[in-house]
Amino acid sequence: MSAVTDSLDWDHVEPAAARRLIRGAIDAFAERGFQATTTRDIASRAGMSPAALYVHYPSKERLLFEISLYGHNAALEVLRSADQGGTPADRLRGLVAAFTAWHARHHTIAHVVQYELNALSPEHLAEVATIRRAISTEIEQVLADGVQDGSFAVPDLPGTTLAVLSLSIDVARWYTPHRGDPDALGKLYADLAHRMVQT
């Protein structure tokens, strides 16, 4: 497993009780959705009382924000690590393969991160939106580089950027481990995304 995969074990969250609450919240949000989850439910999954939860997090929204912030940063880091240079085609394939495999491998947290954005406070959503723009820029820049050197034809750069991201992100909706190996899926999607733009 990569460093980023490991770090999704939430080992950086201290103390262990706070880490158990994060994990309980991810499971509860994924299972029932943010709105239907109670702090009692999260605390109980962490083997704690509701009162003990508030020692670590002031609200259910704060837990969602921590999860969303870390999930988005991990996805951005995966993209940045995957950009190993080379031709725009090599770079695009690397980015899409890694981003897709990440959404398959971490489909539970990716699901929470993608589908509960509206439950964040406006300030927290703004902070997450900055990371989302950075993720989008990683793809858009590679597409623009390919247009510039003539290897890609992209009549609608923002629309195609969104489509490439969308293909990977939607994996979090339908992926379950019996759907196959995350890396094989990443390779297929790298091919499809490259075909979308090559001249």
Q: Which of 17, 73, 108, 115 binds a second copy (CB under 8 A)?
A: 115
Q: Which of 160, 161, 182, 190 binds a second copy (CB under 8 A)?
A: 160
What is the Cα–Cα distance from 22 to 191, expressed in whole angstroms? 36
Nearest distance in Å: CB 119, a second copy = 9
Encoded one letter per residue, x for contact with a second copy by CB under 8 A and - for no contact, window 34-53 reads xxx-----------------
Candidates 146, 149, 143; CA nearest to 163 is: 143
List CB contacts of 132: < 8 A, sequence separation 6 or more: 72
Cα 107 to Cα 45, 66, 82, 179, distances in angstroms: 20, 17, 19, 12
Q: Which of 9, 32, 58, 177 binds a second copy (CB under 8 A)?
A: 32
Q: Which is nearer to a second copy, 18 or 75 (CB)?
A: 75
Tell me if 56 sits within 8 A of 19, measured CB to CB.
no
Contacts to a second copy by CB under 8 A: 32-36, 114-115, 155-156, 159-160, 162-163, 166-167, 169-171, 173-174, 185, 188-189, 191-192, 195-198
